[in-house]
C-alpha cells in the first residue's frame, strides 16, 4: 500500500513541476542561480548512481579486478566517451559483464 | 495531363498536412515529428520494464509508474531506491530533484500556452517530458510557421511519446518476467546512465560536478535512508556552480589585467 502511495506522491511532485509555470506560478521567474544550477543535475545525479554501482557493488568498496561491474563499467565508459553511441555502450557494458560473470563462475 | 494531376494532388496533400490549415493537421504533424525521437526511448522503456520486474516490483506498479510519474530517468532511479527499501520521503525527494528541470521546461513553454483553456494547460503539462518538450518548443520557436494550432502539434508530439512509453514499458515488463535474475539486469541502469552522462560532460564545471557527486555518493553510501544520493546530487550541483563561477571570475580578472 505504501508503495502505491509513494508512486502517487512521485507523480504529484513531477506533475506539479511540469504544471508550475504553465498554471500555478505564471508570473514567477526562475532565479538565474537555479537556472544555472539545473544543468548540473544530469552529471551529478547520474554519477551519484554510477559510482556506487561500479565501486561498491555489494556494499563494500571493491577496486579489484575481480569486480566484474567495475571492469564492465570502465569499458562502457570508454565506449561512451569515444563513440557517444548509447546503444553500443549498453551492448558492450552488459556483454562484458555477462562474459566476466560466465568466466568467473 | 499527368503533371496537372500530380500538381493538384500535391496541392491537396500540402493542404492536408499544412499545420496552418487545421488542428488535425497540426496534431498529425506533431505526432510525426516525435516519431524519430521515440524510437530512441523504446530501448529505455524495455530496460526499465525488465529491470523493474527483475527487482521484484509487481507488474502493475511497474506499468503504473509509467503513467503516474511518466518520467523515465526518475523512474529508473526510483527502481534503485525502492529495491534498497528507501523510505517514501527519500524516494519522493529524489524524484523532485531529478525532475526539477521540468519546471524549466514549464517556464519556457508557458508564454505559448498562456492563452489556452485550463483543460488544455493541465493536459499539455502532463505530457511535458524531455522528448515532447524538445519537439514542441522547436515548433513554437519556428516563426516561419505561424499558426493558431500549435498546441495541437504539442499534443500530437506528447501523445506519441506517451503511447510509446506505455507500450515499451509494458513489453519490457513482459520480457523481464522471462529473464532470470542472474542476468544482472539491474546493472543495465548503471550502464545506461554511463552512456547518458558522457554527452553531459561538456566542460570542466560539469566534469567537476560529476566527479564530486560520484565521490560523495561512494562516501555516503552507508548514510541512513539512502540520503547519500540526494547529498551527492546537491554536492555535484554546488561544485559545478563554484567551478563555473571561478572560471568566469578569473577570466574577468585576466581581461582587466
With vertex at residue B140, the alpha carbon angle to CA B134 and CA B145, rounded to the nearest 5 degrees, is 125
The answer to whether the CB atoms of A77 and B194 lie below 8 A apart is: yes
Q: Which string of DSSP letters, residue by residue, matches A13-79?
A: HHHHHHHIIIIITTTPPPPHHHHHHHTTHHHHHHHHHHHHHHH-TTSS---STT-HHHHHHHHHHHH
Give which of B91, B105, B127, B124 is closest to A10, Cα–Cα: B91
For residue A11, the surrounding DSSP H or E stretch is: helix A2-19
B211 touches chain A (CB under 8 A): yes
Residues 45-74 of B with CB under 8 A from A: 47, 61, 64-65, 68-71, 73-74
The answer to whether the CB atoms of A4 and B241 lie below 8 A apart is: no
Instruction: Return the domain boundaries, chain A.
Output: 1-30, 41-104
| Residue B117 in grid coordinates | 483553456
Residues 23-42 of B with CB under 8 A from A: 40
Alpha-carbon span A80 to A78, nearest angstrom = 5
Outline where chain B has alpha helix (H).
2-17, 23-54, 59-68, 72-83, 88-98, 101-113, 118-126, 130-141, 150-176, 187-200, 204-219, 228-256
The closest CB to that of A23, out of B125, B190, B211, belongs to B125
Residue B116 DSSP symbol: S
pTM above 0.90, yes or no: no
Q: Percentage of chain A with pLDDT > 90?
A: 39
- ipTM confidence: 0.85
pLDDT of residue A35: 80
Average pLDDT, chain A: 87
Residues 101-140 of B with CB under 8 A from A: 101-110, 113-114, 118, 121-122, 124-126, 128
Give which of B97, B125, B159 is closest to A23, Cα–Cα: B125
Instruction: Answer yes or no: is pLDDT of A9 > 90.
Output: yes
pLDDT of residue B254: 46
Query: In which residue ranges of chain B is pLDDT below 70?
Result: 1-20, 181-182, 224-226, 249-257
CB atoms near residue A1 (< 10 Å): 5
C-alpha dist (Å) from residue A16 to A11, A12, B69, B88, B243: 8, 6, 11, 18, 31
| Residue B182 in grid coordinates | 542472474
B238 contacts in A (CB within 8 Å)?
A: 37
What are the φ and ψ backbone dihedral angles of B154, each rounded to 5 degrees?
-55, -45
| Residue A79 in grid coordinates | 565506449
Instruction: Return the domain boundaries, chain B.
Output: 24-186, 201-257
The answer to whether the CB atoms of B198 and A84 lie below 8 A apart is: yes
Alpha-carbon span B167 to B46, nearest angstrom = 9
The closest CB to that of A8, out of B68, B80, B114, belongs to B68
Residue B203 DSSP symbol: S
Question: Chain centroid to CA B191: how far?
Answer: 17
SS3 B55: coil
Condensed to tens digits (0 to 9), the pLDDT of residues B204-231 reads: 999 999 999 999 999 988 776 667 888 8
pLDDT of residue B256: 45
pLDDT of residue B147: 84
Q: How many residues does chain A have?
A: 105
pLDDT of residue B154: 96
Residue B179 DSSP symbol: S
Give which of B165, B195, B75, B176 is closest to A87, Cα–Cα: B195
B83 touches chain A (CB under 8 A): no
The answer to whether the CB atoms of B194 and A73 lie below 8 A apart is: yes
The angle, 0 to 180 degrees and rounded to 10, between the axes of the packed helices B101-113 and B130-141 is 40
Alpha-carbon span B66 to B50, nearest angstrom = 13
Residue B1 DSSP symbol: -
Condensed to tens digits (0 to 9), the pLDDT of residues A38-77 reads: 888 888 888 988 999 899 887 788 888 888 899 999 999 9
Half-sphere exposure of B227 (CA within 13 A, CB side): 5
The answer to whether the CB atoms of A14 and B69 lie below 8 A apart is: yes
pLDDT of residue B129: 93
SS3 B202: coil
pLDDT of residue A22: 81
pLDDT of residue B122: 95
Do the beta carbons of residue B119 and residue A28 sit within 8 Å? no
pLDDT of residue B255: 47
Amino acid at each position: 500500500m505504501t508503495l502505491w502511495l509513494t508512486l502517487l506522491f512521485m507523480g504529484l511532485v513531477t506533475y506539479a513541476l511540469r504544471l508550475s509555470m504553465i498554471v500555478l506560478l505564471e508570473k514567477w521567474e526562475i532565479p538565474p542561480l537555479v537556472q544555472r544550477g539545473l544543468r548540473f543535475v544530469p552529471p551529478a545525479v547520474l554519477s551519484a548512481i554510477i559510482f556506487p554501482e561500479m565501486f561498491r557493488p555489494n556494499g563494500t568498496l571493491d577496486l579489484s579486478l575481480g569486480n566484474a561491474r567495475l571492469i564492465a563499467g570502465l569499458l562502457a565508459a570508454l565506449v561512451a566517451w569515444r563513440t557517444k553511441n548509447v546503444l553500443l555502450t549498453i551492448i558492450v557494458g552488459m556483454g562484458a559483464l555477462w562474459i566476466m560473470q560466465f568466466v568467473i563462475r | 495531363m499527368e503533371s496537372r494531376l500530380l500538381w493538384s494532388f500535391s496541392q491537396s496533400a500540402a493542404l492536408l498536412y499544412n499545420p496552418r490549415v487545421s488542428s488535425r493537421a497540426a496534431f498529425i504533424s506533431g505526432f510525426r515529428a516525435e516519431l524519430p525521437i521515440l524510437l530512441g526511448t523504446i530501448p529505455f522503456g524495455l530496460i526499465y520494464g525488465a529491470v523493474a520486474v527483475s527487482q521484484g516490483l509487481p507488474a502493475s506498479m511497474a506499468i503504473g509508474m509509467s503513467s503516474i510519474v511518466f518520467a523515465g530517468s526518475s523512474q529508473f532511479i526510483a527502481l534503485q531506491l525502492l529495491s534498497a527499501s528507501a523510505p517514501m520521503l527519500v524516494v519522493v525527494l529524489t524524484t523532485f530533484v531529478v525532475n526539477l528541470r521540468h519546471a524549466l521546461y514549464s517556464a519556457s513553454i508557458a508564454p505559448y500556452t498562456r492563452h489556452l483553456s485550463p483543460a488544455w494547460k493541465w493536459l499539455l503539462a502532463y505530457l511535458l517530458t524531455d522528448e515532447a518538450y524538445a519537439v514542441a518548443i522547436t515548433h513554437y520557436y519556428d516563426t516561419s510557421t505561424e499558426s493558431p494550432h500549435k498546441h495541437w502539434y504539442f499534443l500530437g508530439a506528447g501523445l506519441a511519446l506517451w503511447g510509446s512509453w506505455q507500450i515499451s514499458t509494458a513489453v519490457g515488463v513482459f520480457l523481464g518476467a522471462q529473464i532470470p535474475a542472474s542476468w544482472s539486469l539491474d546493472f543495465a541502469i548503471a550502464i545506461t546512465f554511463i552512456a547518458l552522462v558522457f554527452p553531459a560532460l561538456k566542460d570542466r564545471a560539469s566534469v567537476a560536478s560529476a566527479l564530486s557527486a560520484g565521490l560523495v555518493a561512494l562516501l555516503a553510501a552507508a548514510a541512513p535512508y539512502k540520503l547519500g544520493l540526494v547529498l551527492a546530487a546537491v554536492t555535484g550541483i554546488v561544485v559545478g556552480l563554484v567551478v563555473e563561477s571561478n572560471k568566469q571570475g578569473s577570466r574577468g580578472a585576466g581581461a582587466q589585467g
